[in-house]
Amino acid sequence: MTKRFFGDIAPVRYEGPKSDNPFAFRHYDPARVVMGKTVAEHLRPAVCYWHNFAWMGSDMFGAPTFARPWDGETMEGARLKADVAFEMFATLGFPYFTFHDKDVVPEGSSLAEFGRNLTEMTDRFAEKMLATGVKLLWGTANLFSHPRYMAGAATNPDPDVFAYAAAQVRNAIDATHRLHGANYVLWGGREGYETLLNTDLAREQEQLGRFLSMVIDYKHKIGFKGILLVEPKPQEPTKHQYDFDVATVAGFLHRFGLDKEVKLNIEVGHAILAHHSFEHEVAVASALGLLGSVDANRNDYQSGWDTDQFPNNAAELTPAMYFILKQGGIAPGGFNFDAKVRRQSIDPGDLLLGHIGGIDACAEALIAAAAMIEDGKFDELREERYAGWKAPAAAAMLKPGASLEAIARRVEAENIEPKPRSGRQEFFENLLARYL
Residues in touch with ligand XLS (CB under 6 A): 100, 140, 185, 187, 231, 233, 267, 295, 306, 338
Distance CA 280, CA 272 (A): 10
Q: Does 243 bind Ni ion (CB under 5 A)?
A: no
Catalytic residue among 29, 101, 103, 360: 103
Task: Assess contact for 180 and 136: CB atoms under 8 A.
Answer: yes
Radius of gyration of the chain (CA): 24
What's the first-to-final CA gap in the chain, in angstroms?
43
Catalytic residue among 42, 100, 276, 280: 100
Q: Does 295 bind Ni ion (CB under 5 A)?
A: yes
Task: Assess contact for 136 and 49: CB atoms under 8 A.
Answer: no
Of these, 174, 338, 360, 364, which contacts Ni ion (CB under 5 A)?
A: 338
Distance CA 148, CA 201 (A): 20
Task: Assess contact for 299 and 306: CB atoms under 8 A.
Answer: yes
Identity of the residue, 103 or 306, whose beta carbon is nearer to Ni ion in the bound complex: 306
Residue 241 phi, psi dihedral angles, 5° rounding: -110, 140
Contact characters 357-376, Ni ion, x per CB under 5 A: --------------------
Taking the complex as a whole, the smallest distance from the CB of residue 266 to Ni ion amounts, in Å, to 9
Taking the complex as a whole, the smallest distance from the CB of residue 234 to ligand XLS amounts, in Å, to 11
Contact characters 297-336, Ni ion, x per CB under 5 A: ---------x------------------------------
Centre a 10 Å sphere on the Cβ of residue 23 and count the other Cβ atoms it contains. 18
Torsion of CA 254, 255, 261, 266, to 10 degrees: -60
| Exposure of 331 in the CB half-sphere (CA atoms within 13 A) | 10
Taking the complex as a whole, the smallest distance from the CB of residue 26 to Ni ion amounts, in Å, to 26
The reply to whether 100 belongs to the active site is yes
Taking the complex as a whole, the smallest distance from the CB of residue 213 to ligand XLS amounts, in Å, to 20
Identity of the residue, 5 or 49, whose beta carbon is nearer to ligand XLS in the bound complex: 49
Q: Which does 140 bind (CB under 5 to 8 A by kind): ligand XLS, Ni ion, none?
A: ligand XLS
Identity of the residue, 204 or 231, whose beta carbon is nearer to ligand XLS in the bound complex: 231
Taking the complex as a whole, the smallest distance from the CB of residue 335 to ligand XLS amounts, in Å, to 13
Q: Does 267 bind Ni ion (CB under 5 A)?
A: yes
Distance CA 193, CA 190 (A): 8
Choose among 173, 194, 43: nearest CA to 101.
173
For residue 359, give the amino acid letter. I
Task: Assess contact for 243 and 264: CB atoms under 8 A.
Answer: no
Residue nearest to ligand XLS (CB): 187
Q: Which does 190 bind (CB under 5 to 8 A by kind): ligand XLS, Ni ion, none?
A: none
Active site residues: 100, 103
Q: Name the site residues for Ni ion (rule: CB under 5 A).
A: 267, 295, 306, 338
